[in-house]
Amino acid sequence: IAGITQAPTSQILAAGRRMTLRCTQDMRHNAMYWYRQDLGLGLRLIHYSNTAGTTGKGEVPDGYSVSRANTDDFPLTLASAVPSQTSVYFCASRVTSGGAQNEQFFGPGTRLTVL
């Protein structure tokens, strides 16, 4: 693995189904983020984690949950998908120590369609 990977690449899901989007990074970044991208609305933060074992709510957290059991993985779960959750989901990470620049590194995204 190099950088951030996301799975699946795309998914069509029936409304009401449970779905987990996976995100894994091998850069040992302590902070990780989940965004959704919708046309004309840019990138909106769903949940974030500053370090393993902690999570926080972003701008649009309703209907989503996350966990951060270790540094590398940050899965995003939709407990009961609804059509308004149709979007492209991006996972991102960044290092927050050692005076590093604040840039975030993004995964390739998951395109989710909820019917």
Partner 1 sequence: GQQVMQIPQYQHVQEGEDFTTYCNSSTTLSNIQWYKQRPGGHPVFLIQLVKSGEVKKQKRLTFQFGEAKKNSSLHITATQTTDVGTYFCAGPETSGSRLTFGEGTQLTVNP
Q: Which residues bind partner 1 (CB under 8 A)?
A: 31, 33, 35, 40-45, 48, 50, 56, 58-59, 90, 92, 96, 101-109
The minimum distance between CB 18 and partner 1, in angstroms, equals 25
Q: How far is the CB of 110 from partner 1 (least distance, A)?
A: 11
Rounded (10°) CA dihedral 7, 12, 17, 22: 10
CB nearer partner 1, residue 42 or residue 98 = 42
Cβ pair 1, 28 in contact under 8 A: no
Least Cβ distance, residue 87 to partner 1 (angstroms) = 14
Which residue, 82 or 107, has its beta carbon nearer to partner 1? Answer: 107
> With respect to partner 1, which residue has the nearer C-beta, 83 or 108?
108
- Both tokens of 85, joined, read 């959750």
Could you give the angle at the alpha carbon of 71 between the alpha carbons of 67 and 77, nearest 5°? 25
Nearer to partner 1, 17 or 33 (CB): 33
Burial 86-108 (b: 16+ CB within 10 A, else e): bbebbbbbbbeeeeeeeebebbe
Q: Which two tokens stand for residue 110?
A: 């998951």
CB of 57 to partner 1, least distance (A): 10
